[in-house]
């Protein structure tokens, strides 16, 4: 497979250096390249720290900045960051008002964040965690126990980041993050596999007339492999799965159409129309929307749909200013 690299072993290091150089007004690289943090932190507020394997850009480093994360720890491709990375980032943040960890529900991420907190002891002060598990496709996978945390993580980071910026305390931020996650559902579809640079070959094989319904962001298997569908049929199946997962169907939602890295915006907007039409036909109003590549899977062709049931508080926090490499409005 053709890739724009110098040496496979240096992909993450050089990519992070390029990212920080390109966005030097927003972020700086931590010691030994272990994490990315805000250049101009807001003093006295709850600090938000997240992280995970690389290959999902702009998640998570691309969401470091005003109104979202204060720091992010990138692991190697599809590999959890190490506890020492997380501990170094947490100590640098010096969270006087408390530290909130936003952790996707993958065994490595959960274990390593827990280890970092144990290693810190009393150095960090109060620490709380929000676990994201918005993927309705499968209950378990090779990476997780229970549901996977996928594109809904962006919504949690945005809303909790806005609340922290307004001065919400640690308990309120944790409660909010848990509520947002509980209100959020996601499901993805793959048209091709992704290719991990170190492997140099596709993670899995799909026939020309096949697609993987419910795929994970690391290429984990989904609900089933099916014949290639039209965009309308994809949207109908995914929206039905998302809505059926709510005990009470929401009245208004945020709709996020997220590309996996190799899907053109033309196709993502086409899928947005199909999904929005399906929600409207189901009596659900699309009150907020976002379309683009935000939680990717390297070079995978495909997309995910995420809906978050909105109330006035969620909608207000979504609209609050944000200025990161990956998201910016109101600034």
pLDDT (0 to 100) of residue 180: 98
Given a cut of 90, whether residue 94 has pLDDT beyond it is: no
Edge-first strand order for the sheet with 184-190 is 224-227, 210-213, 184-190, 302-309, 252-259, 285-292
pLDDT (0 to 100) of residue 125: 86
Q: Give Cα 99 to chain centroid, integer Å.
A: 19
Edge-first strand order for the sheet with 36-38 is 27-29, 36-38, 71-77, 47-54, 99-104, 127-132
Q: What are the Cα distances from residue 231, in Å, to 51, 131, 261?
A: 32, 31, 18
Please state, in angstroms and rounded to a whole number, the distance separating the CA atoms of residues 260 and 249. 27
Question: Which range is least confidently modeled, 52-56, 100-104, 122-126?
Answer: 122-126
The mean pLDDT of 14-41, rounded to a whole number, is: 96
pLDDT (0 to 100) of residue 153: 98
Q: Give the pair of three-digit tokens for residue 203.
A: 């993670």
Confidence band for 95, pLDDT divided at 50, 70 and 90: confident
Please state, in angstroms and rounded to a whole number, the distance separating the CA atoms of residues 63 and 57. 9
pLDDT (0 to 100) of residue 145: 67
Q: Which residues pair with 172 in a beta bridge?
A: none
Please state, in angstroms and rounded to a whole number, the distance separating the CA atoms of residues 188 and 190. 7
**Distance from the first to the final alpha carbon of the chain:** 40
The mean pLDDT of 114-122, rounded to a whole number, is: 89
Whether the CB-CB separation of 306 and 152 falls below 8 Å is answered with yes
pLDDT (0 to 100) of residue 219: 86
Helix, strand counts (H, E) of the chain: 8, 14
Q: Give the pair of three-digit tokens for residue 102.
A: 């936003």
Given a cut of 90, whether residue 144 has pLDDT beyond it is: no
pLDDT (0 to 100) of residue 201: 84
The mean pLDDT of 145-168, rounded to a whole number, is: 95
Given a cut of 60, whether residue 328 has pLDDT beyond it is: yes
pLDDT (0 to 100) of residue 56: 97
Share the mean pLDDT of the chain: 94
Nearest alpha carbon to residue 154 among 252, 62, 30: 62
Confidence band for 291, pLDDT divided at 50, 70 and 90: very high
Given a cut of 70, whether residue 182 has pLDDT beyond it is: yes
Burial status of residue 209 (CB atoms within 10 A of its CB: 0-12, 13-18, 19 or more): exposed
The mean pLDDT of 124-150, rounded to a whole number, is: 84
- Strand 224-227 and strand 184-190: the pairing is unpaired
Confidence band for 142, pLDDT divided at 50, 70 and 90: low
The catalytic residues are 56, 218
Given a cut of 80, whether residue 140 has pLDDT beyond it is: no
pLDDT (0 to 100) of residue 50: 98
Percent of the chain past pLDDT 70, that is, above it, reads 98
Question: Which range is least confidently modeled, 96-110, 116-130, 145-159, 290-304?
Answer: 116-130
pLDDT (0 to 100) of residue 141: 55
Burial status of residue 196 (CB atoms within 10 A of its CB: 0-12, 13-18, 19 or more): buried
Please state, in angstroms and rounded to a whole number, the distance separating the CA atoms of residues 290 and 59. 15
Q: Give the pair of three-digit tokens for residue 255.
A: 């709709």
Given a cut of 90, whether residue 230 has pLDDT beyond it is: yes
Q: What angle is formed at CA 160 by the lines to CA 40 and CA 276, rounded to 5 degrees?
A: 115
Domains of the chain: 12-182 (3.40.50.10440), 184-329 (3.30.1180.20)
User: Cis omega (within 30 of 0) on the bond before 58?
Assistant: yes
Whether the CB-CB separation of 124 and 117 falls below 8 Å is answered with yes
Nearest alpha carbon to residue 96 among 174, 177, 167: 167
The mean pLDDT of 141-146, rounded to a whole number, is: 62
The string of pLDDT tens digits covering residues 258-284 is 999 999 999 999 999 999 999 999 999
Please report which helix (H) or strand (E) contains residue 181, including its range: helix 170-182
Given a cut of 70, whether residue 67 has pLDDT beyond it is: yes
* 223-234: burial string, b at 16+ Cβ within 10 Å, e else: bebbeeeebeeb
Please report which helix (H) or strand (E) contains residue 278, including its range: helix 265-281
Confidence band for 9, pLDDT divided at 50, 70 and 90: very high
Q: Name the most confidently modeled range: 64-73, 139-148, 192-201.
A: 64-73
């Amino acid at each position: 497979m053709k890739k724009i690299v110098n040496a496979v072993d240096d992909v993450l290091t050089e990519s992070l250096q390029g990212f920080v150089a390109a966005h030097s007004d927003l972020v700086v690289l931590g010691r030994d390249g272990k994490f990315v943090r805000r250049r101009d932190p807001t003093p006295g507020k709850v600090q938000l720290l997240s992280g995970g394997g690389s290959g999902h850009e702009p998640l998570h480093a691309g969401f470091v900045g005003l109104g979202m994360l204060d720091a992010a720890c990138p692991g190697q491709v599809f590999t959890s960051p190490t506890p020492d990375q997380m501990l170094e980032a947490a100590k640098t943040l010096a969270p006087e008002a408390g530290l909130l960890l936003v952790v996707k529900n993958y065994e490595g991420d959960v274990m390593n964040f827990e280890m970092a907190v144990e290693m810190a002891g009393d150095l960090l002060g109060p620490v709380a965690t929000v676990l994201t598990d918005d993927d309705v496709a499968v209950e378990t996978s090779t990476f997780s126990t229970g549901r996977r945390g996928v594109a809904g993580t962006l919504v949690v980071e945005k809303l909790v980041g806005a609340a922290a910026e307004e001065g919400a305390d640690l308990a309120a931020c944790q409660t909010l993050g848990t509520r947002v996650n509980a209100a959020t559902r996601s499901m993805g579809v793959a048209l091709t596999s992704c290719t991990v640079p170190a492997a140099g070959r596709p993670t899995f094989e799909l026939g020309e007339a096949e697609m993987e319904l419910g795929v994970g962001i690391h290429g984990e298997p989904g609900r089933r492999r099916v014949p290639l569908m039209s965009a309308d049929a994809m949207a109908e199946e995914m929206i039905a799965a998302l809505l059926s997962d709510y005990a009470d169907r929401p009245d208004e939602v945020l709709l996020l159409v997220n590309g996996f890295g190799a899907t053109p915006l033309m196709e993502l907007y086409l899928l947005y129309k199909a999904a929005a039409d399906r929600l409207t036909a189901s009596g659900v109003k699309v009150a907020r929307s976002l379309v683009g590549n935000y939680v990717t899977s390297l070079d995978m062709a495909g997309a995910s749909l995420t809906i978050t049931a909105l109330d006035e508080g969620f909608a207000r926090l979504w609209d609050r200013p944000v200025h990161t490499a990956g998201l910016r409005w109101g600034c």
